[in-house]
Amino acid sequence: MIDGPPLWDDLAALATAARTIHADRASGYPAQVARGRLSREDAEAGIRIMAAIAADWGELRTGAEPESDAPQATEHEKRTCLAVIADRLKNDRSRLADCARALLWWQQPWRDGVTTSRRALITSITREGRKLHRSATAEAA
């Protein structure tokens, strides 16, 4: 049994939350830059990292192969970004806040001493499963 936070196993909710947070940043950060509350570089990085997280969860949710031009971010950038979001929402009991905490949980290393996140591990397993399925389907045809 896995002891994750609320909504840890609701992939649809997590994918939706990642898209929502990315959309909020993409629409809200330019105004924050204009007001001088956020640097252009920080805004671009925040949008890029959240876009990468949303792309990760879109792939897991739909099974679609990632696009070659999908935004890129390191595991550390993703973990740091989600930690900041989860911290800002620590007293919030909304579904979005629960999803943010679950997204952070998935981004943590899957075991001590390993840098690969739980999300990266399940993504690689999912990709391998799709490859095996395509191979078996092609052999059966």
96 contacts: CB under 8 Å, gap ≥ 6: 17, 20, 21, 89
Pair 21, 78: CB distance under 8 Å: no
C-alpha–C-alpha distance, residues 61 and 53, integer Å = 12
Mean pLDDT, range 52-64, rounded to an integer:
84
pTM: 0.82
Q: Which residue has the tokens 């929402």?
A: 89
Pair 48, 74: CB distance under 8 Å: no
Q: How confident is the model at residue 80 (pLDDT cuts 50, 70, 90)?
A: very high
Pair 50, 25: CB distance under 8 Å: yes
pLDDT in the model for residue 135: 74
